[in-house]
Amino acid sequence: MKKYFTPLLAAGVLLTSMHAHAGPADYVFMPNVEYGEKEIDFKAGTARKDGDPRESAASIGYGYGIKEWWFTEIYLKGKRENNEGAKYDAIEWENKFQLTESGKYPVDVGFLVEIERPREHSEGWELKWGPLFQTEFGKVQINANLLFERNYRAAVNAPTQLLYQWQAKYRWLPQFEFGLQGFGEMTKWDRWSSSDNRTDRLGPAIFGKLPLGGHQAIRYNAAWLVGAAKAAPDHTLRVQVEYEF
């Protein structure tokens, strides 16, 4: 056990030094695609910083593995903030492309392209793109993604943002795995903010897949994230549940 825990912990420490911001319902993208797989995907999260109103978000989506290398998914997203009621927030089209054969090379590589249309049209169109990486050490799996994000045709121009997300997990049992997750945003991609303005979050996470027979299964993951910088929420709870068929 100890020999697997050491690289897992090292990965968490290394990637945490990059700093972060993310929505409370954000999740870590995987680089691999399951051809022909369909899924209904639910994500939710809630976050709060002492003295500020709680922020909550949720989304539900339907996805399909169109090709051996392409998985596409449509989401409806909602949010609740500033002590107001829950409301529709955006529609999102997510596309994931697998660039390497699973397990053939030391690192599996994928690429994400995501387009979002916010309810507030003054925010324009949000485009997110970037590479996805995954590697393994025995029973330890590590993922690290670098993503660029920018709004186009918005009322106010904003620079391209650089985000990151990572996770490291120990694959104890298919039904139950455990590890660490982290999310972040370094603001402008070519000029990172000072640590006082970053919103790093990291914390323990659990994962698992529960077979239902045939090609059906429930896959889940959840994390309790704590703020690691002054501007970060003190606590974030996030969860994702997928029904695969």
Residue partners of 10: CB distance under 8 A and separation at least 6: none
Q: What are phi and psi of 228, to 5 degrees?
A: -120, 15
With tokens 């954000």, the residue in question is 26
- pLDDT, position 60: 98
With tokens 């945490």, the residue in question is 16
- pLDDT, position 187: 66
- pLDDT, position 231: 75
User: How many domains is the chain partitioned into structurally?
Assistant: 1
- pLDDT, position 46: 97
- pLDDT, position 196: 66
* Alpha-carbon dihedral 21, 55, 129, 195, rounded to 10 degrees: -10
With tokens 């929420």, the residue in question is 233
CA 149 vs CA 174, 207, 241: distances in Å = 33, 27, 25
Domain holding 225, by residue range, is 2-244
Residue 2, classed as helix, strand or coil, is helix
- Type of residue at 47: A
- What does each of the 245 residues of the chain score in pLDDT, given as a tens digit? 444 344 444 444 343 333 334 589 999 999 999 999 999 999 999 999 988 899 999 999 999 999 999 999 999 999 999 888 899 999 999 999 999 999 999 999 999 999 999 999 999 999 999 999 999 999 999 999 999 999 999 988 888 989 999 999 999 999 999 999 999 887 665 555 556 667 789 999 999 999 999 999 999 999 999 998 777 899 999 999 999 99
d(CA 224, CA 29): 18
Is the Cβ–Cβ distance between 199 and 176 less than 8 Å? no
CATH number at residue 91: 2.40.160.40
Residue partners of 163: CB distance under 8 A and separation at least 6: 20, 21, 22, 128, 130, 146, 147, 148, 149, 183, 184, 185, 186
d(CA 229, CA 11): 19
With tokens 């490291």, the residue in question is 168
- pLDDT, position 185: 84
Question: Quick count: other Cβ atoms within 10 Å of Cβ 101?
Answer: 11
